[in-house]
Structure 1
């Protein structure tokens, strides 16, 4: 992933002999054989020469105990040639070492072996030009003198870091950065700080060469896995690649070993479940594991003082769903700016116009211009999108314009406008803005326009904002020293004039005026004058505390009103921004899933509260109301625009300047967006496609690369290469985790430059930098840890599997827009090397051409006729139809279809997935997965083989297999097109393998022509399942139906002779359905029993075949309840919901309650939030009762309401009550009303708790 660049062009590695012979070096006692190597290069080790070659080509970390200084000098000498050229600017070589002693040693080595000017710098260094000041007290002049007189500066990293931070040394001056003992580069060490603060942000990066004898700190972990993680972290921080003796293939050589004799040997459980031993046992180590009668591991007693930990369950592995990891976020480079406060000569911006058109013609929005220092890619800069409001939508358009120059005053005024409006609406405006709100990494301006022309900025409005800010500063009402407002007000005796804080306005001109409250820093718009209400009117809040509004402002804000008898104004309050990216009102797609209008209605009856304030506390601003309205759209628009910038940045990192591959930024954005973002798109579809692409390319590479490996070996290698763990590690090395978007847009956490965060989230992770080190201490499996939510430093917890999913999705994105070439390029960037070399294809074809097919030529021709394809190499087809049992010793047949089956499996998977991906663009990812599963499986391929009469061409000598095929052919002939029957009867695997091997053979014969393979197999596999005809496996269909209705199934399986009998029971509200089936395997028996239950449901008219969403209106939670004095939401099931497979109650539950007549017992009820609901749901599952339903009512108040009693008393503005309904079979329906609570979920808990107590009262439950 690393793009190691140098600020100066380098030739290929030079002639080492010539360089080393040209050096004259005296004896140096400090380094091993250093001079000998210089004068006698033949004695230098091959490893040192190899490291030098590698280091000249890329940033390198050399793992070497001695001789590192020699390699450094060799590199320095190559760079020394640059100093002899006439360069336009000063260049330096920086040599860093962590201690004073090492600094002086390395300086002497370089000085004695080069003719370059070199000096050392550490804390004791004194200046020779400034009265002997120590280095910490040097100013810019001293540092300028030092940099001018030297070519190489050897110093401690702290000295360099301080000089860089103070601007005494410019990072761009450094052309080579050598870091001794570079393993210290982690956390807050100066090595890491230099790289993160300066190297990563620089445009012309210096060459980096690190040296260390320990790739990880001696205090680091001793396990190979942990060592691997630390090495990866070191590579990321130094933007370099480790080069070791065996090129990182033997981690034991670079892992610090434990010195204690009492170290323990630990048997860990790997993610695969196998026992693995990380280190060899020491003198007093032991490994003792016994099995108890129950089969569990136990630790026997060991005599002596040394206690041994015998077995240890390791945490979940990389790429698993359980493991969560702390990661950072990638800064968006396009949003950075260097103009800041240094804009005396003005600033040249790239201008991007933003316009809004509402679906309601009378509603107008102001246009804006976005001013950036960076130029955006065309597909980011020219954007059209739609924002969704409650009862309308707004079409937004972003368009790229030319450059725009603003002078210093315009830049300053633009910043004032942005600070006033964004803080006044979303936070609180303070006249004295914190400079930290304008950071170089996040600098842009959003300014209002007079018209659609991006060059017609509304400077009149902006200047009015500047005047308002200056007025507020002068008034100092918001400061600690409050004063009488009279001293700053304009007075008028005209009764038609309204006295505002800064001027008088005629009462007919105040409607829709934008004003700023000087005591709160909030923006409002004027609705009307309150004719019957003044500041002298009785206060409508806490009348015990405040007698009137005048009294309220005096006591709370220390403000004495000058015009208390003046009519107050009715104001429209600013409100928080909303997520406008998703259409919650109409039909559409939500995060890749279909949504229906009736299921997503937004409550439009929410009561809006207006403010009432005396005019003299308001500062008028000459701003249009449409500008304020547009500001509510900007957070959502900018969120999408920033996301596209991030995607474009990732695309640039992957593709660079390649012109033959172009992947749209929107597709990259889709690949890095998870379902949790609740967008109209997600990575799920691309992940499915990428998975197939990876499987295909890796399979082809393995097949061609290893012609002598059998199918089992190839499958094992493929599984390893495309496993979640492998893909995760590749993604981490490429820092892909920092690009992933994993949380829904929260407008309250979005801020514009200059805006205070309305909901700050302090970092408590103990990481000072944006990027989080790769360390196991930042891993957890705690279910309470929420993923996605960022702290103010940009850290967030991310599911480990999300990284591997993103890798697959990214490959999918590149194959969609860039074809297989684009996918292979993306895979190469990720570190997956798959070479589909045509010469290897020719070699594979040549091997197959040696197969003797003459005796079976008529068989082959008949099969070719059925396939509609004539093979160039008949031996490929012969191999494809040859079963492993067809091995005649006399003929010495040394091949069978298994290798081709391995290849064909992957190509058919890719082709069918690609077909479904393009054919059904509007279905959700889950349904697409179901379609692929229904199309790409052995049963479907076996059915196609029989339907197309291919089974007769299979060459095998197994009588048993031939009998199985014959029976299956008869079964297919009598089963018509009943898909469920086919799904519940096992086909001979050889038939599916035959189809796959033929696919592999055609792929090779056409020299990997995927289009030709699909032309043949599209006809062979027709009809391909569609969403309308998709039938899920019976057991899954039954489970999903029961989940939707709140039913539970009980499952009993028992062995009967050579078969397994499965019994499924389903309790309805008024009936108990039971189905039983027997089959050789448990899976098939359960499927057949489920099929019988589905048939019973159909016969009762409860379930219809292929019922869609429109047929499920009877689901739990679709009852509307209305009251005149309350607003009620739809009935909802809160709390833990049963997963797709939890509708089936397992046998353990049955053991707890052997019959439904036995009263169940609950030891205790967890009364924490969610506890009562969980207890009730578990009881329903155990007893096979239908899940309870809740109906909610909400009461709102402008004053605080007391809720609860005693110690549980709370106050809130909202009060919720929930009614619970539980249908108990053969008993009836129990309904109860819960107690009022401050939030909806707590009200559900109250109702659930009362239901549990009621069940106990009616002797249907025992508690305790």
Structure 2
């Protein structure tokens, strides 16, 4: 069992790990990464071969294939195609590992001091280590039938000017720094320039202008000079071979995290920066290697990190299959369930955690209602809290080794473990799991917040629910340690009355038409409409137990309704959560009860009747047809909301615990349900989130009660501005007064921020106009000076 301390393991899937082959040939399973760019750019991507020690499951291959990554200029599509296995000698494995380590050190570190040397050891060690090969593929239209791997750049590391080349007129007639090479070795290469400590990609020897050291160099505002003069004046370098053609290239491609959900786009067609270099200031690092290959390898850390996540999810799925047999849940759902918001990726567990939280509340409430029939609502709520609170779910998640599977941090390409790079090698330890088919290794330990582990437990439940596999969700809940079932048990609460028929207590026939449901057991309807103050000798119980159950049932069926309607790329998980919170609340339920005229049927004492009457008076002159309860600036009696939940609970029990029947009956009462077009946040929630997001300080003053009215003042301090509702918001109760105060402060903030934004735009327009005018004047001056 994983410890409950701060340190939790981070699992590495066994598919990416191997041990020493002890001098024997090594078999690698090969997959062709076919990269397809859906954007215009001067550089085209090349395919890459992934060689891995274990054959990937077809589900992994199918899931990765078709994945698109958001890059600066558009979308990069990845497909994975299975190739024939290859056998490599230990020497060739070392060459492959040297090649990829050198290339990734160049791309990730951009530091020549960290490049590989001849003395570096790239052999497979005796301990488990990450082992896979990333090799350039031959160009599609030039691809030979017998080999997809382009071995020439792989076997040319480290670079040697004495190595043979394929050109007919081989001659080491181009002077580079401290050496001479054949011109063909400079056509596609990576060079280092010590005078400025930079690394460049060379992709042509002379460009289109046949430039050399004596060619003109336009330095913009600094005037015109020659390359020879520029290097002497700027870098103190006297070119001795100024007649040699300049090398045309560019800076290295930046390796970024291409899994982020929000990325800054680059204008389509924007030219890449280029540079022209005298060969004699360059030291060759890698040759030959095409610019397309280097560009393609800049995406590899993100692609492999995604593949590793899929493999971790696949191993978790196999572990679950060892304990119960769910339907074929996609590993993409499992991956989503173990991806925390801190990863900042397009898909995290938000949606699924909301689903799982709702289902867990629903199924546990149902179990407690059935098995604790003498407990009142308060006791049931306490027991539910002790089962599904974050503290408890955290312990369940740790008892089952879930923390090791969790992806919690944003991916940093510079921290990516390059296979074969022993300078940052990590010791992998085999982790024993209660599974015959799952093998993982521990890379490191890390801290994980208690809430994240609890969220992942709920998200995994939600993953099963999202595939409409409640049976698997129930099995998972039992597996982690929460004992629940869906067995139907008779409801034995002491509510049956033999003296008075239920029709004499409530108008069952009238309510049948309003609820669109006919009760088999009318006493359940009596119980659902009886407030605790309305109990009498002939009515021995009240609605509180049914309210406890109905609250959970309504929460789940409404959550599922919104998930099915709006869980797509168009709407964010946060928006989905907001839709749910707008609809599942007491004010909306109370308004629904008023519309259905349920207030006329509630059994209660005179005090509660007066509270209900006060609510009815408050909404008497308001339009209720197309609004939600919290939008109205009035008081809602809590009892009105309670009876919607208790009636839902009563229908649930009476129908044989069929939630679909509950939704079919209660949905008309809740209409119009919120839609993306009508969704507006509760002012209190909106103000809290605004202050939290922007770091504003909010203070709610203690309410003041005078002459039957409650006054509330809210103060928000921003950057030098204080917002305060003045005069204080007044209402008949504290909740309504707070709602009015929050609404007033929100309005003040939005008006002020709108004015500030307008002023900022005016200032930027004036500034840009001034800059444009200045640049035009400078351009005119340069034009006239150069003509003279």
TM over 0.5, yes or no?
yes
Change (3 A) 1:602 1:709: farther
Evaluate the alpha carbon distance shift between residue 576 and residue 992 of structure 1 in structure 2; reply closer, same or farther with a 3 A threshold. same
In structure 2, the CA distance between the partners of 1:737 and 1:1076, relative to structure 1 (3 Å rule), is same
The answer to whether the 8 Å contact 1:1094/1:1103 transfers is no
* Residue number among 492, 499, 505 corresponding to 2:182 in the alignment: 505
Q: What is the deviation of 1:821?
A: 1.1
Give the superposition deviation at 1:860.
2.0
- Which has the higher Rg, Structure 1 or Structure 2? 1
Secondary structure at the counterpart of residue 807 of structure 1: helix
* 1:601 to 1:1014, Cα distance in 2 relative to 1, 3 A: farther
Aligned to 2:470: 820
Is the CA contact (8 Å cut-off) linking 2:33 and 2:48 kept in structure 1? yes
Q: Which of 95, 116, 121 lines up with 1:434 in the alignment?
A: 121
Q: Does 1:1013 align with 2:665?
A: no
Matched, 1:927 2:575: yes
Determine the structure 2 residue equivalent to 1:752. Answer: 418
Structure 1 residue 715: Cα displacement? 0.7
1:394 corresponding residue in structure 2? 76
Q: Is the 8 A contact 2:619 2:634 kept in 1?
A: no
2:185–2:287 CA contact under 8 A, matched in 1: no
CA distance in 2: counterparts of 1:635 and 1:441, whole angstroms: 17
TM score, norm. by length of structure 1? 0.51
**2:630/2:682 contact within 8 Å kept:** no
Cα distance in structure 2, aligned partners of 1:661 and 1:621: 51
Q: Give the alignment of 1:1143-1162 within 5 angstroms.
A: none
2:295 pairs with 1:662? no
Tell me what 1:947 maps to. Answer: 595
Asked whether the 8 Å contact 1:444–1:753 carries over to 2, the reply is yes
How far apart in 2 are the matches of 1:360 and 1:601?
10
1:611 CA drift (Å): 6.2
2:34 equivalent among 335, 354, 362: 354
Residues 250-289 of structure 1: CA deviation (Å, up to 9, x unaligned): xxxxxxxxxxxxxxxxxxxxxxxxxxxxxxxxxxxxxxxx
Please state how far the C-alpha of 1:724 moved relative to its aligned partner.
1.0
Residue 969 of structure 1 corresponds to 616
1:531 equivalent in structure 2:
212
Q: Is the Cα–Cα contact under 8 Å of residues 354 and 370 in structure 1 kept in the other structure?
A: no
Q: 1:616 to 1:880 in 2, by over 3 A?
A: closer
1:610/1:531 CA distance change after superposition, 3 Å: closer
Find the residue that maps to 2:213 and give its secondary structure.
Answer: strand
- Picking from 465, 471, 486, the partner of 1:836 is 486
CA distance in 1, matches of 2:274, 2:762: 27
| Partner residue, 1:465 | 154
Give the CA deviation at 1:402: 5.4
CA RMSD of aligned residues (A): 4.7
Does the Cα contact within 8 Å between 1:368 and 1:449 map onto a contact in 2? yes
Structure 2 counterpart of 1:913, from 555, 559, 568 = 559
Query: Is the 8 Å Cα contact of residues 686 and 813 (structure 1) preserved in structure 2?
Result: yes
Look up the match of 2:13: 332
Give the Cα–Cα distance (whole angstroms) in 2 for the partners of residues 833 and 1071 of structure 1. Answer: 50
What's the secondary structure of 1:638's corresponding residue? helix
Matches within 5 A, 1:108-147: none
Match in the other structure for 1:805: 455
- Conservation of the 8 A alpha-carbon contact between 1:880 and 1:997: yes
Contact 2:173 2:180 in 1 (8 A): no
Displacement after TM superposition at 1:429 (Å)? 2.7
- In structure 2, which of residues 669, 672, 676 is the aligned counterpart of residue 1027 of structure 1? 676
1:864: how far off? 1.8
Contact 1:518 1:618 (C-alpha < 8 Å) held by counterparts:
no
Write out per-residue CA displacement over residues 850-877 of structure 1, whole angstroms, 9 at most, x where no aligned residue: 8777342672232122111122333322
5+ long unaligned stretches in structure 1: 1-234, 238-317, 319-323, 476-487, 551-560, 587-596, 773-791, 1105-1110, 1129-1264
State how far apart, in whole Å, the 1-side matches of 2:33 and 2:203 are: 29
The answer for the alignment partner of 1:1172 in structure 2 is none
- Quick check: 1:941–1:992 contact (8 Å CA) kept in 2? yes
Q: CA deviation at 1:714?
A: 0.8
The yes-or-no answer on 1:447 pairing with 2:96 is no
The answer on 1:882 being equivalent to 2:557 is no
Give, in angstroms, the shift of residue 423 of structure 1: 3.4
Structure-2 change in CA distance of 1:334 and 1:940 (3 Å): same
Question: How much has 1:1011 moved relative to structure 2?
Answer: 1.8
Which structure's residues are more often helix, by fraction? 2
Structure 2: runs of 5+ lacking an equivalent? 110-114, 216-225, 433-441, 773-788
Contact 2:524 2:654 in 1 (8 A): yes
Distance 1:696 1:564, change over 3 A: same
Partner of 1:478: none
Local SS of the residue matching 2:469 = helix
1:988 CA displacement: 2.0
Distance 2:666 2:652 in 1: 11
> Cα–Cα, structure 1 residues 491 and 952, in superposed 2: closer, same or farther, change >3 Å?
closer
1:202-255 CA distances to partner (integer Å, 9 max, x unpaired)?
Answer: xxxxxxxxxxxxxxxxxxxxxxxxxxxxxxxxx448xxxxxxxxxxxxxxxxxx
CA contact (8 A) 2:373 2:493 kept: no
Is the contact between residue 615 and residue 636 of structure 2 (CA under 8 Å) also seen in structure 1? yes
CA drift at 1:676: 1.9
SS in 1 for 2:533: coil
* Map of 1:556 onto structure 2: none
* Cα distance, 1:822–1:574 mapped onto 2, change above 3 Å: same
Q: How far has the Cα of 1:1078 moved from its partner?
A: 2.8
What pairs up with 1:623-772 in 2 under 5 angstroms? 623-656=289-322, 660-755=326-421
Deviation at 1:1019, TM superposition (A): 1.7
Aligned to 1:1061, the other structure's residue is in SS state strand
Instruction: Give 1:944 shift.
Output: 0.7
Note the C-alpha offset of 1:911: 0.9
2:501 matched residue in structure 1: 854
The residue number in structure 2 matching 1:1206 is: none
Partner SS for 1:450: coil
Deviation, 1:653, is 1.6
| C-alpha distance in structure 2 between counterparts of 1:498 and 1:699, whole Å | 81
Q: 1:726: Cα distance to partner?
A: 0.5
2:639 maps to 990
Contact persistence 2:97–2:122 (CA under 8 A): no
- Of structures 1 and 2, the one with the larger relative CO (CA 8 A, separation 6+) is 2
Secondary structure of 1:329's aligned partner? strand
Counterparts of 2:494 and 2:607 in 1: how far apart (Å)?
31
Are residues 837 and 355 of structure 1, via their aligned partners in 2, closer, same or farther at CA, if it must alter by over 3 Å? same
- Alpha-carbon spacing, 1:1095–1:568, altered in 2? closer, same or farther (3 Å): closer
Written as runs of structure 1 = structure 2, the 5 A alignment for 1:11-26 is: none
Closer, same or farther in 2 for the Cα pair 1:947/1:1063, shift >3 Å? same
Relative distance call for 1:1003 and 1:605 in structure 2 (3 A) is same
What do residues 1064-1093 of structure 1 show as CA deviations (whole Å, max 9, x unaligned)?
Answer: 578998999733233454443232234455
Aligned to 2:653: 1004
Alpha-carbon distance between aligned partners in 2 of 1:1065 and 1:521, rounded to the nearest angstrom: 54
Of the structure 1 ranges 369-378 and 719-728, higher mean CA displacement relative to structure 2 is found in 369-378
Counterpart Cα distance in 1 of 2:344 and 2:269: 19
Which one of 566, 576, 580 corresponds to residue 258 of structure 2? 580
C-alpha displacement of 1:739? 1.9
Q: Quote the residue 1:404 is aligned against.
A: 85
Task: Give the whole-Å Cα distance in 2 for the aligned partners of 1:847 and 1:1031.
Answer: 43
Deviation track 1:909-933 (CA, whole Å, cap 9, x = no partner) reads: 1111111222222333333332222
Partner of 2:435: none
1:1098-1117 alignment runs, 5 A limit: 1114=758
Query: In the alignment, is residue 894 of structure 1 matched against residue 540 of structure 2?
Result: yes
1:1054 Cα deviation after fit? 5.7
